[in-house]
Structure 1
C-alpha cells in the first residue's frame, strides 16, 4: 500500500473511532462514576482519569456521576449508552456485585467488558464524636439488647459495609434480618450523616474517613481486615472476638461490543496509568492497596467473587 493511501486509511478509521486506543497519541476519554460525588468510586475514577492524562494516554477525561441502586443505575446507562465506545470506562467493584445480588436489576456486568481490578481496601467502622458509645463492644452490647436501635450507616444495600454489618450481627448471635441498615447513595451523604450523629455507627473504606479520623471528628472502632492496617491503630474485628473478615476492591469495565484489539488497548492504557506518578500519589493519599488483575483473569475473578458474595449474603440472611 502506498504511504499516502495508508495515511488516508488511518485518518478515515480515526474519524469513525475504529482505531484501537494504542494507535492514538492521546484520546478524549469518558468515565462513568456510578455513584454520587464524594465516595470511593468517585475518588477512584477521578484519580484514574488524572493518571490516564499523566501517563499521556488521555488528552482529557470527562466524568459522569450517576448514583443509586449500588451502581445499577450507572451501569444501565453505561451498557445502553456506550456500546462500541473504545474510549469509555466505568468504575465498579464489590459493592456493585452485592447490589446486583440484592436488587436484581435488569442489567448485569456480563453485558460490559472487564478491563482491570485496580485496588483493594478494607472497611472501617466509626462512631460520631458525640456518640454515647466508645467501642465496638458497646455497639455489640446494644445490638444484642435492641437490634433495631443501632443504625448502621453506609453505602447502598449490598455494599461491603452492609454485608459486614450483617456478618457482625450473625457472629454475635443476632438475627441479621433485624439490623437497621441505612443506605446512602454516595460516600458524601454517608459521611454527613455520621458527622451529624444521624446514625449510630458508620462503615466505609478507610480512605473515605481518613481525614475525619485524623481530625478527631470520627472514632474508628474496628476494621474488617485479618490484620491491623499498616501504620494505623485500629483494632480488627477478629481481635475483638468478632469472627468477621471481608475486603473491598475496585476496578474498571469497558463498554459492551468493543473488539478484542480495543479491549487490549484499554487494558494497556490503564496499566500505563497505574504506573504513573499521579496514580502512585493517589494510592498513598488514600491508603489503597494495589491489586492489579486484568483481562480474562479479572473477568473470572468477578464471576468467582459474585458466587462467593452471594453465598455470604445468603448465610447472613440478606438474600
Structure 2
C-alpha cells in the first residue's frame, strides 16, 4: 500500500492545524524554550514528511505500479503514455526526496553565511569606531540613543552605546548585558537560521509563515528569562523600556525592537509555569513528531 495519502494528511495537520493551535495557546510564552523546540520539531517533521511523500509518489507499489506514470498506463492511456521504466521510478524515488533535503540544507547554509558576512562587516566597523570595555566585557559605541545588541557566532561581540551606559544604572546595564550573553551562549543565531531556511523553502505553508517570527520572539524571551534569574523584574523591565526603540544591524540580536512590547508585558505580568502535564505533553510531541512520518511511511509489521 502506498503511504503518500497518509503522509499528505499528516503534512496538512503539521503545516496548517498545529501552528493555529500553538498560536492560540498561552503556554508558549510561559515556557519559551520548550515552545521553540516544538516549533523546530514541527518543521523537521514536515520536512521529513515532504521528503517521504516525494519518495512514495515515485516508488512502484502494488496499486500504483510504477508511480504516477504507471497509474496512467494502467488506466488504458497506452497511446499517449509509454510504459513506465522501473529504473526511472527508482531514480525519481531518490532524486525527489534528496532535492527536498538539499534545498533545506542549502537554504540553512545560505542564511548562516549571509548573516555571518553581515556580522563580519559590522565587526570591522566596530574595530574602527568602538572601544572595548574590560569592565563591561563589551564594545562601547558612540551613539546618541540607548542601544545594546550582540553579534553571535565566531568572534562574538556584545555592543552597547555610550548613551545606554550613561542612562542605565549599573544593575540595569548588567541585566541588559546578561540578556545579550544568553543569545551568544545559546547559539540562537543557528536556531533562527534553521527557522529562516524552513520558511524560505516551504513559504506557502502556514507553519513556515509563522515559524520565523515566533522563533525570533521566543529566543528573545529565553534571553529575558536568563537575565531575570539574577535581576529583579522591575530592574529588567525598566531597562527594556529604555532600550525598546533601539535598532540593530543585520544578523544581530537586541533587547529592544518590535517584540519589546509583548515581552515587556510578559515580564511585568504574573508568572505562571505551564502545568506539568501540559509541559510533558508538549515535550513528548516534540520528540514524537519527527518520528511519526517514518512510522507512517514504514508501519511496523504485525506478524
- Relative to the length of structure 1, the TM-score reads 0.26
Name the one with the larger helix percent. Answer: 2
So what's the TM-score if we normalise by structure 2?
A: 0.27
Structure number with larger C-alpha Rg: 2
